[in-house]
Structure 1
């Protein structure tokens, strides 16, 4: 039963109260209504929430965005367009760094999946005067999927926007990069080369994902030599996740200069087990003598008392091409013989690929 005595519009009004118990009760009732078997109840609840979301004086944008995003599926097609307008109206009144904007981006993506909404609405939102609207639009382009590839050129124009907007755009660019590498690669190269902090990290992760996906599909790897100086610099970054991305790209790009090999050998001593393991794999990929890499990976895999080291080695080895694994086949075979349980199973799964 969804009724709970009060009509649905009263429960919607309780979302704006200052009493957390009232808000929690309203969220529960309205969540049930959005998931009800009775289609009329579902539609009525959605209508009321969409109307309240767009209302100028509403103080419940956050809870409503979260509720519609998590409980309203599939959205009624006839409500998709008014819901899109309501979301964009609401987020224009929200601060650009507010966490509920992520809920808004997910909700809009759901609307595009459920109904044939025009992409022109998203394109217009990418140029909106309010940064919060630009952030939401940028964040949902990637979540819409390949249907939104045509928006990539417009998305690139917000890569130099404020931090929150640019970050959302980079995440979307990374999601769609494999569908339009000719558009994405120059932009990712540019961001890796000149961006800093979070933007550069997002560009690095997106570029690595694109290169790895292409490798799995047998596509020729993009030429990364022009990025070598930047990757060598970021391999020294104070943040382990940034170092990991740089080290991985040095290996995936087969960058085998003396400077790269020296940098990767240095990273074998990295305080982060994940970075050290990725450096070992990168050394194998660039054709360096395998002894040092094999020794590091063997030590990590034998560290039964340190699950982080074992996990780092297995993660680094997962998905590595057979030819590279073949360079340390004896090391992997010895580690498999000495391992137990899930670690032994994982290592035995790696071995046949380079038999």
Structure 2
């Protein structure tokens, strides 16, 4: 074991790879005693303040150590908390640390109480790991939602992790999580904004599929209209899609969606067209855009954009485009025609 751990720190890439493979096999072996000895040795090295292989050890444990042995859980918590103080607040090491802690808390949810003090740790890397843990544990972590809320106001790497976890837990506590996600849409930018809209869209789509009422979404529409000015296409795409799912829409929102039909991103334009169809707006402009993107002379990117938007649509909305789809099928060949035929077949 000492030899393999030494090889993890080697400058020889081949030696490192060989050590990772051997230790991974030992962590996943069917021999319970060998598996426990390996896990114990890795955790002891991970918790050692001078260890130079924190990253590889965290990656090994998150990938291969499942389920954690109950007798090693307390050791694992202390070792990972020690290790995460020595990594950056962003990146794979924090993600791996959070995953190991989440595995431990799934086996023993009482460990969340042990971890509670880490939410206020002075180092951002620890707070970032804790923000991620809450979202990965699920139902047992709901009592710790208030600690997660506080991290939404933290520095950016921590806040991004907190928004992601809030989105993961939103289906379990929609009336609490949804207004906070809307608040993030109102004031956040960049990755945090994108994650907040994405989480809201996922929550709304799930509740629509299950026939459930939507949670309270205070002042969501003006926040989404602001997002349509964002420079990054993924945020604009999620904003137009969510507008279509949370109607009825104001005249200002319908005008903004029609303007989005001219968006430089064909994916944003296609989702804006679908949003207009969902909201019951006069369909001519939306169908014209989609037909142009799907036509036989259109570039593959345009066809892909339209198909990606249409394949997410419920039959009642897709029916509004039935005539247009039938027209395109008559004029098309190849994969696009086959995909459109499948959509039409789904309408019966």
Residue 303 of structure 2 is aligned to residue 310 of structure 1 = yes
| Cα distance in 2 for residues equivalent to 1:240 and 1:301 | 20
1:71 maps to which residue? 64
| Cα distance in 1 for residues equivalent to 2:218 and 2:254 | 14
2:73 maps to which residue? 80
1:9 shift after superposition? 2.1
Once the two structures are superposed, the pairs formed by residues 233-312 of structure 1 within 5 Å of their partners are 233-303=226-296, 306-312=299-305
The answer to whether the 8 Å contact 1:223/1:253 transfers is no
Residue 314 of structure 2 is aligned to residue 321 of structure 1 = yes
| Cα distance in 2 for residues equivalent to 1:161 and 1:127 | 10
TM-score (norm 1): 0.91
| Cα distance in 2 for residues equivalent to 1:165 and 1:225 | 25
The answer to whether the 8 Å contact 1:225/1:253 transfers is no
The answer to whether the 8 Å contact 2:182/2:218 transfers is no
1:192 shift after superposition? 1.0
Q: 1:146 aligns with which of 139, 152, 158?
A: 139
Q: CA 1:352/1:35 → structure 2, altered by over 3 Å: closer, same or farther? A: same
The SS at the match of 2:51 is coil
CA deviation string 1:148-197 (max 9, x = no partner): 22221221111000111110111010011011011101211111112222
Q: CA 1:182/1:221 → structure 2, altered by over 3 Å: closer, same or farther? A: closer
Q: Tell me whether 319-328 or 288-297 shows the greater mean CA deviation.
A: 319-328
The answer to whether the 8 Å contact 1:301/1:313 transfers is yes
Unaligned runs of 5+ in 2: none
| Cα distance in 1 for residues equivalent to 2:153 and 2:258 | 35
Unaligned runs of 5+ in 1: 1-7
The SS at the match of 2:170 is helix
Q: CA 1:326/1:305 → structure 2, altered by over 3 Å: closer, same or farther? A: closer
The SS at the match of 2:52 is coil
| Cα distance in 1 for residues equivalent to 2:214 and 2:267 | 24
Once the two structures are superposed, the pairs formed by residues 157-176 of structure 1 within 5 Å of their partners are 157-176=150-169
Residue 47 of structure 2 is aligned to residue 24 of structure 1 = no
1:219 maps to which residue? 212
| Cα distance in 1 for residues equivalent to 2:17 and 2:297 | 45
Q: Tell me whether 22-31 or 10-19 shows the greater mean CA deviation.
A: 10-19
Q: Tell me whether 186-195 or 157-166 shows the greater mean CA deviation.
A: 186-195
The answer to whether the 8 Å contact 1:16/1:58 transfers is no
Aligned pairs, number: 348
The answer to whether the 8 Å contact 2:245/2:278 transfers is yes
CA deviation string 1:15-72 (max 9, x = no partner): 2344434322221221221122322222111111010000011011001001111122
1:243 shift after superposition? 0.7
CA deviation string 1:194-252 (max 9, x = no partner): 22222222111111111111111111234657222221121121110111111112111
The answer to whether the 8 Å contact 2:179/2:217 transfers is no
Residue 36 of structure 2 is aligned to residue 43 of structure 1 = yes
2:195 maps to which residue? 202
The answer to whether the 8 Å contact 1:303/1:309 transfers is no
1:111 maps to which residue? 104
The answer to whether the 8 Å contact 1:189/1:227 transfers is yes
Q: CA RMSD in A?
A: 2.1
1:340 shift after superposition? 4.6
1:140 shift after superposition? 1.9
Q: CA 1:255/1:223 → structure 2, altered by over 3 Å: closer, same or farther? A: farther
| Cα distance in 2 for residues equivalent to 1:303 and 1:114 | 55
The SS at the match of 1:327 is helix
